[in-house]
Structure 1
Amino acid sequence: MGILTSIFTWWNGATIGTRVYGLRGMARKGEDALGNVYYEGRKDTAGNPRRWVIYQGANDASRVPPEWVAWLHRQVDDVPERSMPPQRAWQKPAIANLTGTPLAYRPAGAMEKGGQRAAATGDYEAWTPEG
């Protein structure tokens, strides 16, 4: 990311002002597998320490894993490594929202898949106002 991008755009990650001034006095609490970094620091209006995430890459909340969402929303007190049970063998890792990307789900009949879908099975009867 170029210096001009980090100065003027917030949607490509944290601006330079956030990195230099906004995180002053904040304690780094951890990092997730996607490279997002989590901080805790100054008090909010209720007297609780504020919790922040600095995204690695695009600012997209769907890129925050569920265990860190729980920490950000104060559902757990300590960071996930110490407060959450270990991941089970059958659990899949969280993935970001793929809407608008080439990997997005497109059902049969979608325009991106050719617009063709299977014919009705015969149990469908169209409604007519006279009938």
Structure 2
Amino acid sequence: MGILGKIFTWWNGATVTTLLNSALTGEQVGTDAQGNTYYRAKKRYPAGHPFAGRERRWVIYNGANDASRVPAEWHGWLHGTLDGVPESNLPAPRIWEAEYTPNATGTAAAYRPQGALERGGKRVGATGDYEAWSPEA
């Protein structure tokens, strides 16, 4: 992406302002399996600010900005649910835990049920087991 794209777009990665803010006022606290990098501000919000005493936290995505790429533990850290960095507070992964899969909405891999226009728009016929509600009944 060119410099103009970095200056004027936020949906294709971090803007120049965010990158500068991360380098100058932020402290890197960790990365996740997706390669996303997490930061916190070196200073807390000042007195009189609505979030006084709390620290500002943010993520720089490795690739496109897609909030579904933030794992649950880092989501909790970003929103202040966890005080410590998740990497030091996580239990061992369970055998049943699935690996991350990207959000497929808007792509060819998106779920399309029977009757969807993208699948021809043909629905299965009614089976006769539906009875409409009536206020008199």
TM-score interval w.r.t. the shorter chain? 0.7 to 0.9
Match of 1:61 in 2: 67
Deviates more, 1:7-16 or 1:54-63: 54-63
Structure 2 residue 95 is matched with structure 1 residue 89: yes
Q: Tell me the equivalent position of 2:48.
A: none
State whether structure 2 residue 121 is matched by structure 1 residue 120.
no
For 2:2 and 2:35, the matched residues in 1 are separated by 18
3-state SS of 1:58 partner = coil
Q: What TM-score does the superposition give when structure 2 sets the normalisation length?
A: 0.81
SS in 1 for 2:56: strand
The one-letter amino acid of 1:72's match is L
- Residue 49 (structure 1) aligned to one of 55, 73, 76: 55
1:36: how far off? 1.3
Whether contact under 8 Å (1:77, 1:83) holds in the other structure is: no
1:94 & 1:71 partners in 2: Cα distance? Answer: 18
**Structure 1 length as normaliser, TM-score?**
0.84
What one-letter code is carried by the residue in structure 2 that aligns with 1:90?
W
Give the equivalent residue in structure 2 for 1:108: 114
**CA apart distance, 1:59:** 2.0
- The answer for the alignment partner of 1:35 in structure 2 is 35
Moved more, 87-96 or 62-71: 87-96
Cross-structure match for 2:5: 5
Question: Is there any run of 5+ residues in structure 1 with no aligned partner, and where?
Answer: none
- CA RMSD in angstroms, aligned pairs only: 2.0
Match of 2:62, SS?
A: coil
Most deviating of 116-125 and 50-59? 116-125
Gaps of 5+ in 2: 46-50
What is the number of residues matched between the two proteins?
A: 127
